[in-house]
Amino acid sequence: MKIRTRFAPSPTGMMHVGNLRSAIFEYLVAKKSDGDFILRIEDTDQERKVEGAVELIYETLEKCGIIINEGPNQGGNFGPYVQSERLELYQKYAHQLVEEGKAYFCFCTEEELNIQRQEAELRKEAFLYDGRCSHLTKDEIKEKINNNIPYVIRQKMPKEGISKYDDLVYGEISIENRFLEDQILLKSDKYPTYNFANVIDDHLMEITHVVRGNEYLSSTPKYNLLYSAFGWPKPEYIHLPMVVDENGKKLSKRHGASSFADLINQGYIPSAVVNYLALLGFSPETNEEIFDLEHLIKIFNPKRINKAPAVYDVKKLQWINSHYIKKMEFNDYVSLTKPFLEEAYDLKDKNEEWILELLKIYQNHISHGKEIVEVTRLFFNNDFELDEEKEAILKEETTDIVLKTFKEEISSISDWTIENISIALNNTKEKTGVKGKLLFMPIRIKVSYQMHGPELPNTIWLLGKETVLSRLSK
């Protein structure tokens, strides 16, 4: 049997990194066995639907290299792939369960349900709908429907026994049926609930493996009871560990750079983001950590998905992204970083050679595109303060003679080239007898206000002779 997985996002805005991680794992599960990856848009919550969000989903998957085998923009034999276009199907199957006595019309108002909730609070119990409408007679139901009284359709849930299922990551999961509420299948607006639509769609689209976050571990028995009510085979379940922030709290949309678009807007590379997210909750057999998508498919094993929460570590993401930046073709790197530079600084008096040299020397020093703005600030501003460590280096016994000699060497340069600046540095070493850290560190701090950075001759050339002499004189 061919493995089929689905990614079923709701079009409610930017794609959160947690959602994208689910898509990546769903894709890996399918492609590991040469299966199909299906995109389905779950837009039954019309109030939260955001204009243009569906196009963002397409764009995100495309940028990440995730190929859709079937979907709204791709077609397929199991469409439509947008839930709002499948409403007749949900109504058909909900009414089928009513006719078979496995579901019922519920006419309880929100006020009545609130009273039941308050009574449960007084008893210090979790609220579960008491199923009173399941006892209505056919005549009572017919009268209420004829009088246009709003209703939902609820599934009759067992009140005794235990529901169990096996998850590939978490093993056997069980829940006592007495804790399961008679779940709503169709809402009063005739739209399906999330749980109901998922089961109908997954069955009709022949989904074999359901991959999703572990927040659904306890609700999966509800899904399985629906499969049983229809007499349908159940899919395999793979629940992914939760993604948390550095404080152990669930990663939310309020967390910095928590959407894929946020990361791209900060100059992260899509393939690096995919690489990082695939390692959130998955442990490869080796210590290797840099993988393209094709390599990920080869080494992926769902049995190596972890149970423990995965920490969204921005520093680890930056470390992985920096590897991708170092390997970029220079023209691609320029396309990534130059727009940030142009937005932050006035480059009118800078020629193309200068700009390209500036970008070039930092290709091995930045972790994301926008970081180019901060690391190059020394070329556009003079308002820097030295910390105690830098001040201490400038107070070394040899510093004065090094700076004095280097200033003389720089002053004598008539042809301002990187080669001549290198000669000036070498002459300073020869004349002072100072070398290594005691030679280069004071000069770097004095001209760039930094202890470390790209090649010193290139940095000095970019600063320009006038600026370098001015800073050496301070």
Name beta bridge partners: 210: 237
Give yes or no for a contact between 173 and 183, defined as CB atoms under 8 angstroms apart: no
- Name the catalytic one among 190, 253, 395, 437: 253
| H/E element, 244 | strand 243-244
CB burial of 50-82 (b: ≥16 within 10 Å; e: otherwise) equals eeebbebbbebbebbebebbbbbeeebebeebb
- Using alpha carbons, list the distances in angstroms from residue 165 to 172, 213, 238, 240: 6, 16, 11, 16
Residues contacting 403, CB < 8 A, separation 6+: 442, 443, 446, 472
Helix (H) or strand (E) holding 469: helix 465-473
Query: Between the CA of residue 62 and those of 148, 270, 274, what are the distances in Å?
Result: 47, 10, 12
CA–chain centroid gap for 68, Å, is 19
Tokens standing for residue 408:
């003389």
Reported as type and span, the H/E element at residue 185 is strand 184-186
- How many alpha carbons lie under 13 Å from residue 84 in its C-beta half-sphere? 11
Q: What share of the chain is helix, strand, coil (3-state, %, to 5)?
A: 50, 10, 40
Residue 429 bears catalytic tag = no
**Distance between CA atoms of residues 469 and 404, nearest Å:** 11
Catalytically active residues, by annotation: 253
